[in-house]
Every structure is written in structure tokens, then in C-alpha cells.
């Protein structure tokens, strides 16, 4: 039985080119009563993600922050991977903690969506909602395969109509494992439907 402060679902989002605008559209539409944590990988160099998190926090009802090594996931909070570092999740008993790592880039990316998604796939006690939004390349594709292999995962991608760059969503769709395609303005609403 999960206690009041715990959560059944983890939302993880991967994005690249055009991501800040897309994240603003999604995070600003989530209610302050959000009962899950949100993990975000936005491809960015060091020193830019903190200001992005601060700006999104000012525009959102939920808390948005740059992720810190060792912190315990809290519902109603969105965590953005620090630029130039990988973000992973580690399960410790009934808690889930963030691990920030400076290991090698994966497919040229650090932070990497694949690294986050692969770590989330190892969490056995939570449902997962994985979202791929606008971005170049194919980061997140391998991570989606890991998530689906481990079950309890719904995968959503942004539609070509609203993407600045359709590369990452297209690569995700090529896996054959995507459950739904949403316009940017519908993503937050569709996340909430899956949580309820």
C-alpha cells in the first residue's frame, strides 16, 4: 500500500530542438494538484538548464527545478536534467532517488533520453508514461524499447503537425511501440487522463 506522499506513476519526457517552447506548453498546463513526478531530458549544454528550469517554474503551477544528485522524487515536481550530465533514477526501498552522472555521452548526447528511459525501465513498482517531443536525431528510441520490454509503460509522441523538428518522434514511431500521437497542446491533457 502506497502512503499519501507516494505516487503510482512516473512521467518522463525527452526533447531537443524546439524543446523549451514545447516544455512550456506542457508544464504550464499541468495542475498544481499533479500527483506524480515528471523527469525531463532537454538536450542542452551546461549552465543553460538552471535558467530554463527557473523560467518554466515561473510559468507553471507545479514546481519545476534543475535536478540534483541524490534528491528524492516528489510528486507535483518536474526535474530537468542538468546540461552536460546524465540523469538516472535509482530505487532505494520505497524511495526513488535521482542520480546525476558525468559518464560518457550516449549517441552524442549528455544528458541522454535513452539513459533516463533505461533507468526508469528498471523501476518495477511504478507505471511509466514516456513522452517524446520535438527534436533532431533518434535519442529515446532505444529507451522506449527498454521501457516496453519491462512493461507498465505508455509511450506518447508529439505529432508532426506541432513539432519544430520531427526527428525524435519519428524515430520513436519506427519502433512500432508508440501508443498515441498528440498535438503539443493536447499532451498535458492526455498525460492527466493516463494518470487518473
**Catalytic residue set:** 16, 43, 139
The Cα 15–Cα 38 span in angstroms is 13
Its sign, for the CA torsion 131, 184, 42, 87, is negative
Residue located via cell numbers 542538468: 82
Helices 141-150 & 113-121 angle (0-180, nearest 10): 0
Where does residue 23 rank: exposed (0-12), middle (13-18), buried (19+ CB within 10 A)? buried
Tell me how far apart the alpha carbons of residues 37 and 171 are, in angstroms, rounded to a whole number. Answer: 25
> How many whole angstroms separate alpha carbon 112 and alpha carbon 72?
20
- Site of grid cell 521501457: 147
Amino acid at each position: 500500500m502506497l502512503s499519501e506522499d507516494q505516487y503510482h506513476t512516473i512521467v518522463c519526457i525527452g526533447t531537443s530542438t524546439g524543446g523549451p517552447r514545447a516544455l512550456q506548453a506542457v508544464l504550464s498546463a499541468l495542475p498544481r494538484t499533479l500527483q506524480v513526478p515528471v523527469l525531463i531530458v532537454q538536450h542542452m549544454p551546461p549552465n543553460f538548464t538552471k535558467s530554463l528550469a527557473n523560467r518554466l517554474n515561473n510559468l507553471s503551477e507545479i514546481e519545476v527545478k534543475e535536478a540534483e544528485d541524490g534528491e528524492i522524487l516528489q510528486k507535483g515536481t518536474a526535474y530537468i536534467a542538468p546540461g552536460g550530465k546524465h540523469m538516472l533514477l535509482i530505487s532505494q526501498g520505497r524511495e526513488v532517488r535521482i542520480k546525476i552522472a558525468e559518464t560518457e555521452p550516449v549517441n552524442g548526447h549528455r544528458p541522454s533520453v535513452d539513459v533516463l528511459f533505461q533507468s526508469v525501465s528498471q523501476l518495477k513498482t511504478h507505471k511509466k508514461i514516456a513522452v517524446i517531443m520535438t527534436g533532431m536525431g533518434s535519442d529515446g528510441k532505444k529507451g522506449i524499447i527498454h521501457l516496453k520490454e519491462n512493461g507498465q509503460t505508455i509511450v506518447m509522441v508529439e505529432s508532426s503537425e506541432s513539432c519544430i523538428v520531427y526527428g525524435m518522434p519519428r524515430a520513436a514511431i519506427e519502433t512500432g511501440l508508440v501508443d498515441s500521437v498528440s498535438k503539443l497542446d493536447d499532451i498535458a491533457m492526455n498525460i492527466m487522463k493516463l494518470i487518473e
